């Protein structure tokens, strides 16, 4: 194999594909990139068996072929080369010669055949949306997936398409996050559960531009995200997602309208008094026109008032401050509405159109504090 | 005590003084700031017994007094408060109430008397220079102090003043770094060894502006750096510094004139092949007009040529790449001169005026490589 690509193109490609390189593995091949020069295309691929990413690099093929190279050292060499054309050439025994200007690196590679190819995804069913929209809705929900594997369903997000409506849901045992958006086109109804890790990695390589499109193809077991010169392949989590509709209610006893920034700053300040591992709640005392927030720990106490608009009953209710912060932080609105039933029932933060819905369970507290 | 300061003034002060807060200590008082409101001045002080920093905060004293507060939590609270006036008020049992707009924090303090005051430094002998110059010359030499205490003298830097010349020297067992600058005024000759940690912390709080002055006062055992509204007090390392003049020589067999950026980039690239803890040398083959640089490790090989101007003999010589990088990186000149005697003798990188001199010992290598 002999190919010539610009350093900047190579580096861009390597940075994208790196997200699917396994960092903890006993299989050295999973720590490799596959470089393929075939049928007029130069492709770099990584595959950690959960997630696979493939990117096409612009460049010139002088001799077709394939080679697997250790991803970390290859990335670092490319990163440090001068801004010029880079030649990658293989020789006998899978030696890889990387040349740029007067700089010559020689590293050992592996046969391309050792590399596990990405599964072929049938391009039949898909939905299409902007990279911006997908990146945003992942960011606005991903924080409430469960991070351990006790319940595998909770480690993924539900993607639910119904005609032109697209709903994304994540939940753990304390909260539910939902985003609803409209798609430009109509599709057949479909539900799938996508691993959180896939979505996290995806947000890092999506452009975030509104005019850039992404297509999501799906089969029974796999997903393919196709955008720009990149393909991301992921397995789908098998199983039935939780029935969340029955957990959401439109009833409330108290409705609070509050400035998002003020509330967020106050809750963030309160966490200064909470040492790691310490589970101190923040207590909200909601009365006409005022929300008093209180935190008490071994370090000290905090007490703060925020002006609000209130409908319905007075209430005192306590939350894990982290859960409130996670949800409020990703809301774009300047003013938010919080709906509460009683001190034992979840609160719901949502806008009128329900483009976002955040449900958070309260915690027990000592009202006399 | 009751004082009112703007959040921004308080935060600036806290950020400066924090550098002298002990992070590893069994004495809780060393993790504290002392806040003093006395004689019309509000001062914040930290003292880890090696280094002390004091800063004057602009503000209004409503009631004089002193209090010691846990530095970390105090800093974090100030950082997160709204941009407005902050009131700090002590009450019985050394409780500290911090109020800003509608936010109220209450934390426990300690009696100010528990705090070890900074030593009084007699302001008799001093030198004066710009903060820019001091910051630069520390940055350009500090990397070659020794980081272990086997030889306490090596953990500090020599400051040597002789009339209007100011020399700064650091060395470990592999290299020497020297910077010479001219002072505006004339001073009595003096030598002192200053702890590296003091200098490192100092560079973080110096403004780096050429028009901002700093005065360095010295007594037998202590130094006082005075600048802006800040005082930094440090002990001096006792003992006699190494005689470095006899290690430096103006003789050479080979002189190389080379582009600094090209050389630095090449050496940095070579280190990609060196895993941590692995001591691989970079080999320079110097011939007429050309420097060939080679690195070989278990990961692979690198080979690169750089155009040079050469005087004197051809030479093959090897170095620890890190030592070359440390020195070359801090040189501002675009072209540098390297002087060599033979493959066993140190090389010297210096400019004509000797405003900087970097001496680096070579390492043994296998010339047949």
Q: What is the pLDDT of residues A151-178, one digit of tens each?
A: 999 999 999 999 999 999 999 999 999 9
Share of chain B above pLDDT 90, in %: 89
Q: Please state the rounded mean pLDDT for residues A55-60.
A: 96
A269 and B306 within 8 Å at the Cβ level: the answer is no
Residues of chain B with CATH 3.10.150.10: 2-114, 126-245, 248-360
Choice between A259 and B246, residue whose per-residue pLDDT is larger: A259
Tell the burial category of A218 from Cβ atoms under 10 Å away from its Cβ (0-12, 13-18, 19+): buried
Q: From the CA of A108, how many Å to the nearest CA of chain B?
A: 7
Q: How far apart are CA B53 and CA B55, in angstroms?
A: 7
> Taking CA B86 as the corner, what is the angle to CA A297 and CA B19, rounded to the nearest 5 degrees?
75
User: What is the pLDDT, as a whole number, of residue A368?
Assistant: 60
Q: Please state the rounded mean pLDDT for residues B293-307.
A: 95
Q: Which fold has domain A126-241?
A: DNA Polymerase III; Chain A, domain 2 (3.10.150)
CATH fit for domain A2-114, picks 3.40.50.2000, 3.10.150.10, 3.30.70.330, 3.30.9.10: 3.10.150.10
A107 and B306 within 8 Å at the Cβ level: the answer is no
Diameter of chain B by CA atoms? 80
Q: Reduced to 3 states, what is the DSSP secondary structure of residue B265?
A: helix
**DSSP at A12:** H
Mutate to test the interface with A, among B72, B81, B105, B274 (most CBs of A within 10 A): B105
User: In what helix (H) or strand (E) does residue B137 lie, and over which residues does it extend?
Assistant: helix B131-139
Reported as a pLDDT band with limits 50, 70 and 90, residue A81 is very high
**DSSP at A222:** E
CB atoms within 10 A of CB A91: 12
**DSSP at B363:** B
What are B97-118's pLDDT values in tens digits?
999 999 999 999 999 999 999 9
User: In what helix (H) or strand (E) does residue A72 lie, and over which residues does it extend?
Assistant: helix A71-80
> Could you give the ipTM of this predicted complex?
0.85
Residues of chain A with CATH 3.10.150.10: 2-114, 126-241, 248-360
Closest of B324, B325, B359, B367 to residue B343, by C-alpha: B367
- Residue from the list B73, B272, B304 with its beta carbon closest to the beta carbon of A73: B272
User: What is the pLDDT, as a whole number, of residue A148?
Assistant: 78
Residue A42 has pLDDT above 90, yes or no: yes
> A67: which chain B residues are within 8 Å (Cβ-Cβ)?
none
Q: Reduced to 3 states, what is the DSSP secondary structure of residue B241?
A: coil
> B268: which chain A residues are within 8 Å (Cβ-Cβ)?
80
Q: From the CA of B102, how many Å to the nearest CA of chain A?
A: 5
Share of chain A above pLDDT 70, in %: 99
Closest of A329, A331, A338 to residue A309, by C-alpha: A338
**Domain B126-245 class in CATH:** alpha beta
Closest-CA residue of chain B to A264: B80
What are B84-94's pLDDT values in tens digits?
999 999 998 99
Residues of A with CB under 8 A from a CB of B: 73, 76-77, 80-82, 102-108, 265-266, 268-269, 272-273, 299-306
User: What is the pLDDT, as a whole number, of residue B278?
Assistant: 84
Closest-CA residue of chain A to B96: A300
Q: How far apart are CA B366 and CA B344, in angstroms?
A: 13
Share of chain B above pLDDT 70, in %: 99
Q: How far is CA B173 from CA B216, B316, B326, in A?
A: 29, 22, 15
> B303: which chain A residues are within 8 Å (Cβ-Cβ)?
103-104, 106
Closest-CA residue of chain A to B108: A300
Residue A210 has pLDDT above 90, yes or no: no
Task: Name every residue whose Cβ is closer than 8 Å to that of residue A318 and which is 6 or more positions away in sequence.
Answer: A281, A282, A283, A284, A343, A362, A363, A364, A365
Choice between A311 and B247, residue whose per-residue pLDDT is larger: A311
> B305: which chain A residues are within 8 Å (Cβ-Cβ)?
102
Residue B6 has pLDDT above 90, yes or no: yes
Q: How far apart are CA A75 and CA A284, in angstroms?
A: 50
Residues of B with CB under 8 A from a CB of A: 73, 76-77, 80-82, 102-108, 265-266, 268-269, 272-273, 299-306
Q: Which pTM does this prediction carry?
A: 0.89
Closest of A21, A270, A267 to residue B73, by C-alpha: A270
Mutate to test the interface with A, among B70, B103, B261 (most CBs of A within 10 A): B103
> A82: which chain B residues are within 8 Å (Cβ-Cβ)?
265
Mean pLDDT score across all residues of chain A? 95
Residue A367 has pLDDT above 90, yes or no: no
Q: How far apart are CA A10 and CA B329, in angstroms?
A: 27
Q: How far apart are CA B194 and CA B202, in angstroms?
A: 11
> A300: which chain B residues are within 8 Å (Cβ-Cβ)?
73, 105-108
**Domain B248-360 class in CATH:** alpha beta
> B76: which chain A residues are within 8 Å (Cβ-Cβ)?
272
CB A217 within 8 A of CB A127: no
Closest-CA residue of chain A to B104: A303
- Residue from the list A103, A300, A302 with its beta carbon closest to the beta carbon of B269: A103
Residue B367 has pLDDT above 70, yes or no: no
Q: How far is CA B33 from CA B2, B15, B43, in A?
A: 16, 11, 10
A272 and B302 within 8 Å at the Cβ level: the answer is no
Q: How far is CA B103 from CA A80, A270, A284, B93, B303, in A?
A: 49, 10, 14, 22, 62
Closest-CA residue of chain B to A274: B73
What's the token pair of residue A167? 């709903």
């Amino acid at each position: 194999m002999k190919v010539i690509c610009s350093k900047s193109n190579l580096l861009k490609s390597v940075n994208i594909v790196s997200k699917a390189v396994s960092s903890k593995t006993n299989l050295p091949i999973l720590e490799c990139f596959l470089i393929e020069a075939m049928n007029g295309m130069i492709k770099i691929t990584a595959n950690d068996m959960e997630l696979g990413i493939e990117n096409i690099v612009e460049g010139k093929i002088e001799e077709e072929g394939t080679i697997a190279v250790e991803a970390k050292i290859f990335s670092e060499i490319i990163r440090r080369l001068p801004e010029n054309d880079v030649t990658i050439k293989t020789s006998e025994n899978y030696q890889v010669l990387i040349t740029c200007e007067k700089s010559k690196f020689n590293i050992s590679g592996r046969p391309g055949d050792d590399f596990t190819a990405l599964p072929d995804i049938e391009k039949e069913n898909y939905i299409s949306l902007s990279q911006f929209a997908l990146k945003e809705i992942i960011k606005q929900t991903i924080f409430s997936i469960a991070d351990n594997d006790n319940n595998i369903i909770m480690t993924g997000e539900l993607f639910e398409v119904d005609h032109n409506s697209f709903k994304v849901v994540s939940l753990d045992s304390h909260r539910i996050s939902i985003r609803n958006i409209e798609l430009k086109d109509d599709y057949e109804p479909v539900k799938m559960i996508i691993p959180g890790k896939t979505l996290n990695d995806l947000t890092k390589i999506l452009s975030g531009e509104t005019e850039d499109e992404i297509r999501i193809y799906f089969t029974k077991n796999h997903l393919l995200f196709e955008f720009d010169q990149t393909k991301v392949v992921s397995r789908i989590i098998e199983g039935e997602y939780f029935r969340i509709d029955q957990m959401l209610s439109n009833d409330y006893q108290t409705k609070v309208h509050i400035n998002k920034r003020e509330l967020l700053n106050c809750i963030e300040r309160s966490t200064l008094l909470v040492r790691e591992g310490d589970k101190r709640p923040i207590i909200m005392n909601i009365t006409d026109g005022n929300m008093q927030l209180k935190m008490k720990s071994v370090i000290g106490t905090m007490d703060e008032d925020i002006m609000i608009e209130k409908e319905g009953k007075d209430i005192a209710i306590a939350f894990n401050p982290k859960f409130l912060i996670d949800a409020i932080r990703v809301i774009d609105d300047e003013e938010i509405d919080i709906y509460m039933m009683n001190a034992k029932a979840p609160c719901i933060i949502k806008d009128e159109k329900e483009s976002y819905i955040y449900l958070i369970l309260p915690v027990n507290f000592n009202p006399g504090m």
